[in-house]
Amino acid sequence: MQNKLPLYLILSLLLLALLAVVSLYMGVYIFEKHSFTEIFSGLINNDGSISDSDRFVLMDLRLPRIVMAILIGSALSVSGTCLQGMFRNPLATPDLLGITAGASLFAAVTIVLGVYIKPYIPEVFHFSLLSFMAFIGALLTMLLVYRMSTTNGKTNVVVMLLTGVAVTALGFAVMGLLIYISKEEQLRDLTFWNLGSVSGASWTKNGILAVVITVCYFVLLPKGKALNAMMLGEKDAEHLGIPVERIKKQIVILTALMIGTCVAFAGTISFVGLIVPYILRLIFRSNYHIILPLSAVFGSILLLTADTISRTMAPPSEIPIGILTAFMGAPIFIIILIRSRKTM
Amino acid sequence: MLEAQNISYAHRKFSILENIDVTVNNGELLVIVGPNGAGKSTLLSMLANELTNKEDLIFFKKKTFHDWDCKELAHSKAKFSQNNSHDIPLTVNDVAMMGRYPYFNSVPQKQDEEAVIKALEETDMASMRQRDYNSLSGGEKQRVHLARVLAQLDNNVAQKLVFLDEPLNNLDVLHQHRILQTIKNFTQKGNTAVMVLHDLNLAAQFADRVMLLKKGKIVAHDVPGTVFTKEIISRVYNFPCTICTNPVNQNPLIIFGT
């Protein structure tokens, strides 16, 4: 089964590409030219065959948004898979552990209080300040949850989930306070955070996301074997020559980085990290060697589909994407709870 | 082969091991026995480099574990643990294949597949290769992990070392003897095994040397015939016993409760 991984990867990447093209044509605005190749050759040759409005919708609205959905879906789903490997539990996801809440808490504080710091820092850092703070929030929450719930390499699932609940509650409280004291324009930003959306996509954000994700995947994606071995227990994984402590540190820092960046750019989109690994596990069992790279692609597929539905279901308004993912995620959460009820 | 001097271990002021000296020679099968709470598993963990204690120096092939490269170490040392995870959602073959993780990068090679099949045959699990690990009974799971450990040490490295913490729990008589015979064959090729057992008669039958522990101290460490005497065993286990010669293989035979 392991040798078939390249085949599965190619097939799922083709599916993703197909979805991206379909998604490009979905929406209120209809392109004048209907052939995919005609539009792109027109864009590349720049011979005036593409109207300005076509160009604007394509290059500044739809394409960045599609790319962002692909990047964020992938990053959230890989973060979820890695955390589940580290905590050895299918419920360990960025949102249930409160890591998303921690990141958005720090991001929200930065949005509201950032007005007072922003004049003192150069403008290029404004975007990165937000993602940096979100990263710090994610990292601190992750360390808190891990320290609270794991002793001697054994995770107490109840403590793990309850710590997540506590951090999320704190996040809500602070968010309420911030909404109360914030000005109107900040309020709009804050609402965007809570609902989660990729409508704020831009090429700058996509660039930062792509760099972060490339660095993280370079380290994390080859860790499938190590995560498999960690199912034996950390001591036994070490006997197999796996540097468990180093891998755990890498997972903590890099998933925090990915979640922080995603939250900074798209707010809290919940349950992606729960749905994708769950579905993959149904087919491939818990073989991380297969599900870790596949979760990178299927996360993209899920979020791209969800985003396309969210912007086309009730035009011209949008259904917040978080609502769609929650509709899928909540039942899966309950199914996992029922299955693991005996062992908790 | 394996040398450790003056090992001590304490957990929250409760001393578990005190000043233990161990030397295990090449090709030796050392069995550690003793009543509950004697520190057998702790000693095995320390010798296997699971509990890192800076002051205690343990030398494996004249090098401390710290000086070994962790991949290279995995080629010549393995451990079978007592508390194996009961929930691993993979097939039997996948779990046994983990023993080959130190040998391949991404996709298992032909010799890895062969080593796994050979190890599963050794533990009589080859017919269940494609079964779900989670659907097995306790004894079968145990045998999968034994196969994993055997597969890990299936290579050309000379003088390997295996640690086994109560490998016979949950196993039926046939498999108890088969596993011990496999380990015995392994040591007869110049490799070394250190094992914790509860069954004194099996220890007497298979061990080259026996270490008897009580309350974190060595009571006796010698060949089975010297360790298994009536007064030592009845004193350490605090239970009357009789020792005679096993009529089949001439080893000491311990009968409790007489």
Residues of B with CB under 8 A from a CB of A: 45, 48, 50, 70-75, 77-79, 81, 83-85, 87-91, 94-95, 98-99, 101-102, 106-108, 132, 145, 152
Q: What percent of chain A has pLDDT over 90?
A: 39
Distance between CA atoms of A265 and A252, rounded to whole angstroms? 20
Residue B107: which of A2, A241, A286 has the nearest Cβ?
A2
Q: What is the mean pLDDT of residues A315-344?
A: 81
Chain A residues inside the 8 Å CB shell of B87:
343
Q: Does the structure show a pLDDT above 80 at A128? A: no
pLDDT tens per residue across span A255-294: 999 999 999 888 888 889 999 999 999 888 889 999 999 9
Q: What percent of chain A has pLDDT over 70?
A: 95
A281 touches chain B (CB under 8 A): yes
Say if the Cβ atoms of B70 and A241 lie within 8 Å.
yes
Among A242, A223, A3, smallest CA distance to B109 is for A3
* Residues of chain B with confidence (pLDDT) below 50: none
User: Please, which residues bridge with residue B211 across strands?
Assistant: B32, B221
Compute how many other C-beta atoms are within 10 angstroms of the C-beta atom of residue A13: 14
Per-residue confidence (pLDDT) for residue A227, from 0 to 100: 94
Per-residue model confidence (pLDDT) at position A16 = 95
Type and span of the H or E element at B244: strand B241-245
Count other C-beta atoms under 10 Å from residue B188's C-beta.
10
Q: Does the distance separating the beta carbons of B132 and A285 come in below 8 Å?
A: yes
Region of poorest pLDDT, from A29-43, A121-135, A221-235: A29-43
d(CA A163, CA A140) in angstroms, rounded, equals: 12
Tell me the CATH number for domain A2-25+51-339.
1.10.3470.10
Determine, for residues A286 and B74 on separate chains, whether the beta-carbon distance falls below 8 Å. no
Tell me if A241 and B84 make a contact (CB, 8 A cut-off). no
Residue A334 has phi, psi (to 5 degrees) of -65, -40
Q: Which of A111, A84, A104, A113 is nearest to A267 (CA)?
A: A104
User: Edge-to-edge strand order for the sheet containing B63-64?
Assistant: B14-24, B2-11, B58-60, B63-64
pLDDT of residue B55: 65
Q: Does B252 sit behind a cis peptide bond, omega within 30 degrees of 0 on the bond before it?
A: no
Rounded to a whole number of angstroms, the distance from the CA of B154 to the nearest CA of chain A is: 13
Nearest by CB: A240 against B50, B89, B102: B102
The nearest CA of chain B is from the CA of A1 a distance in Å of: 10
Q: For residue B62, what pLDDT is reported? A: 86
* pLDDT band, residue A188 (cuts 50/70/90): confident
Q: Residue A302 and residue A298: Cα distance in Å, rounded?
A: 6
User: What would the pLDDT profile of A20-44 be if each residue is shown by its tens digit?
Assistant: 999 988 877 777 666 777 777 777 7
- CB interface of A with B, residues 184-223, below 8 Å: 222
pLDDT recorded at residue B53: 66
Q: Which of A84, A88, A239, A245 best probes binding to B when mutated, by most B CB atoms within 10 angstroms? A: A239
Q: How large is the average pLDDT for residues A127-147?
A: 88
Residue A1 has pLDDT above 60, yes or no: no
Average confidence (pLDDT) over A175-187: 80
Contacts by B12-15 with C-beta closer than 8 Å and gap 24+? B15/B216
Out of A241, A285, A286, closest to residue B73 by CB? A241
- What token pair was written down for A259? 């979640």
pLDDT in tens, B72-121: 899 999 999 988 888 899 999 999 999 999 999 888 899 999 999 999 99
Angle at A60 between CA A54 and CA A66, to 5 degrees: 100
Chain B residue numbers touching A286 (CB-CB < 8 A):
88-90
Kindly state the DSSP code that residue B155 receives in the 8-state scheme.
Answer: S
